[in-house]
């Protein structure tokens, strides 16, 4: 199969690369692009299905690579001969397939032949798509078994500079992403997310709590943290430029309790354009290497109407929510236990069903008889089963005084009210996700 290549490389290697492609049986150069904008425009127009790019291409970042992938364009990096810094820069951006300016047509065929079609974002599994480096290593291994002369090219380059090769045991068994979401109306999503993360940490799991609410971040305030400190915005910026790794992410997410790290949210809602889908996806991927559970507090909105407003690619305010829900292994949906809140919960679950999110765990919060009548849990359960088919519900009691005391102290319920009914209910919910008996969770911090 011949790939139609778009070339955007250093001027001093372009001629050699095009000559090399002329002798290739798998690559046909269809356009030489002057800059990144020209490359992205050609990709959007469907001119080619392969991009050959240099590390020094101005503006090249994960957002640009995501744009290329969204339009079905695979990417191969091109470096000058012997320039390890360029190769390392490309690999940090996630480009694991790399050729050098002194490679011949056979080498180019080996690399291009091992690069698969980009995985559409709607088909990404909770474990994420297989990295290009892994595919290429597998191809190199098969060639090694057959004694191909390309063995050294495939094996040596894929082990050099690949972060996954030295990521350690956590990368070998990555953690899970758990999304906490709720419809409009302050049903208590952040309260549940913060305390669920604390309970999971109490259960012995390492947890990274991420504030991904682009409409009104509040995790920092709930835990008495300085919200102006670097958080998800800094992590996304590092991911966009290919400098994010486990060490950087751990530095940006301080430990607030044993086993619990927090990546604070945007200090101002108008900074939402800083959180692009490709960068957030990379932050979550690295988060899974430093924590058993990456728990993300999401904003209420799932609207994705940018395609109606623009005829070109545009930033999405709800990109964090969509990316997290597509990546998550589990989703917790929080609704309020009053007539308005329950109606929004039913519609929210229906809205969630059209996304790529897994089947949710439904939490009904603020349960009290004064809002829905006597025997509230039974009444709510019957109503939700009738109108939405929901049967597996978790109920959290209404406890404003306890929540106010915890908020005032900037602490979690496990510390401020360890024996309160709300804390015990959250402990039971945590036991479900920590895969340990709930009594083992409630036994700590009491």
pLDDT, tens digit, 9 for 90 and up, residues 405-420:
999 999 999 999 999 9
The structure tokens listed for 359 are 């089947």
pLDDT reported for residue 207: 97
| Residue 156: other Cβ atoms inside 10 A | 10
Task: State which of 20-24, 99-103, 350-354, 401-405 shows the largest mean pLDDT.
Answer: 401-405
Note every long-range contact of 114-120, with CB atoms under 8 Å and residues 24 or more positions apart, other chains counting: 114/139, 114/140, 114/154, 115/50, 115/74, 115/75, 115/76, 116/74, 117/49, 117/72, 117/74, 118/68, 118/69, 118/70, 118/72, 118/73, 118/74, 119/69, 120/70
Q: Which pLDDT value is given to residue 129?
A: 40
Find how far residue 310's CA is from the centre of its chain. Answer: 25
Percent of the chain exceeding pLDDT 70 equals: 82
Spell out the domain ranges in the chain: 3-166, 171-442
Please give the residue that has the higher pLDDT: either 92 or 146.
92
pLDDT for 306: 56
Q: How far is CA 193 from CA 114, 141, 210, in A?
A: 41, 44, 9
Between CA 413 and CA 191 the distance in angstroms is 10
Q: Do domains 3-166 and 171-442 have the same CATH topology?
A: yes
Q: What is the CATH number of domain 3-166?
A: 3.40.50.2300
Taking only the tens place, the pLDDT of each residue in 312-343 is 566 788 999 999 999 999 999 999 999 999 99
pLDDT at 126: 38
| pLDDT the model gives residue 103 | 86
Q: What are the backbone dihedrals phi and psi of residue 65, each rounded to the nearest 5 degrees, phi first? A: -65, -35
Grade residue 13 by pLDDT with cuts at 50, 70 and 90.
Answer: confident
Highest mean pLDDT among 100-104, 276-280, 363-367, 387-391: 363-367
Between 331 and 66, the higher pLDDT residue: 331
End-to-end alpha carbon distance in the chain: 64
- What is the pLDDT at residue 401? 96
Is the model's pLDDT at 163 over the cut of 60?
A: no
Confidence of residue 388 (pLDDT cuts 50, 70, 90): confident
Q: 121-136 pLDDT, tens per residue? A: 433 443 444 433 333 3
Range 171-442 classified under CATH 3.40.50.300: yes
pLDDT digits (tens, 9 = 90+) for 182-238: 999 999 999 999 999 999 999 999 999 999 999 999 999 999 998 666 799 999 999
Confidence category of residue 284, pLDDT binned at 50, 70, 90: very high
Report the pLDDT value the prediction gives residue 359, as an integer from 0 to 100. Answer: 92
The pLDDT value given to residue 310 = 53
> Is the pLDDT reported for residue 157 higher than 80?
no
């Amino acid at each position: 199969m011949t790939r139609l290549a778009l070339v955007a490389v250093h001027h001093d290697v372009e001629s050699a690369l095009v000559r090399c492609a002329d002798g290739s049986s798998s690559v046909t150069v269809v356009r030489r692009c002057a800059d990144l904008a020209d490359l992205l425009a050609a990709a959007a127009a469907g001119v080619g299905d392969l991009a050959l790019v240099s590390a020094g291409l101005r503006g090249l970042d994960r957002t640009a690579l995501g744009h290329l992938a969204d339009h079905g364009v695979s990417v191969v990096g091109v470096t000058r001969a012997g320039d390890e810094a360029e190769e390392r820069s490309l690999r940090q951006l996630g480009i694991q397939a790399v050729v050098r300016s002194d490679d011949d047509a056979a080498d180019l065929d080996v690399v291009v032949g091992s690069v698969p079609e980009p995985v559409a974002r709607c088909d990404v599994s909770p474990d994420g798509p297989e990295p290009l480096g892994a595919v290429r290593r597998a191809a190199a291994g098969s060639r090694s078994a057959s004694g191909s002369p390309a063995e050294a090219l495939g094996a040596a380059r894929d082990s050099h500079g690949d972060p996954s090769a030295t990521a350690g045991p956590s990368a070998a068994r990555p953690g899970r992403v758990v999304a906490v979401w709720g419809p409009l109306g302050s049903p208590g999503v952040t309260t549940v997310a913060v305390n669920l993360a604390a309970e999971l940490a109490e259960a012995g799991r390492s947890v990274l709590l991420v504030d991904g609410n682009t409409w009104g971040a509040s995790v920092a305030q709930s835990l008495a943290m300085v919200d102006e400190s670097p958080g998800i915005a800094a992590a996304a910026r590092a991911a966009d430029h290919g400098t994010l790794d486990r060490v950087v992410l751990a530095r940006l997410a301080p430990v607030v309790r044993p086993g619990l790290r927090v990546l604070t949210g945007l200090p101002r809602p108008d900074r939402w354009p800083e959180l692009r889908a490709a960068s957030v996806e990379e932050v979550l991927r690295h988060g899974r290497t430093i924590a058993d559970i990456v728990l993300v507090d999401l904003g209420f909105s799932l609207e994705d109407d940018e395609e109606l407003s623009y005829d070109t690619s545009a930033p999405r305010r709800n990109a964090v929510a969509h990316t997290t829900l597509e990546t998550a292994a589990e989703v917790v949906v929080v609704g309020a236990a009053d007539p308005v809140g329950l109606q929004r919960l039913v519609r929210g679950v229906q809205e969630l069903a059209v996304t790529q999110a897994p089947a949710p765990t439904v939490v009904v919060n603020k349960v009290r008889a004064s809002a829905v009548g006597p025997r509230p849990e039974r009444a709510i359960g019957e109503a939700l089963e009738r109108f939405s088919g929901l049967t597996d519900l978790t109920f959290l009691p209404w406890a404003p005084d306890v929540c106010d005391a915890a908020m005032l102290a900037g602490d979690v319920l496990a510390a401020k009210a360890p024996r309160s009914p709300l804390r015990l209910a959250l402990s039971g919910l945590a036991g479900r996700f920590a895969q340990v008996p709930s009594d083992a969770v409630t036994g700590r911090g009491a």
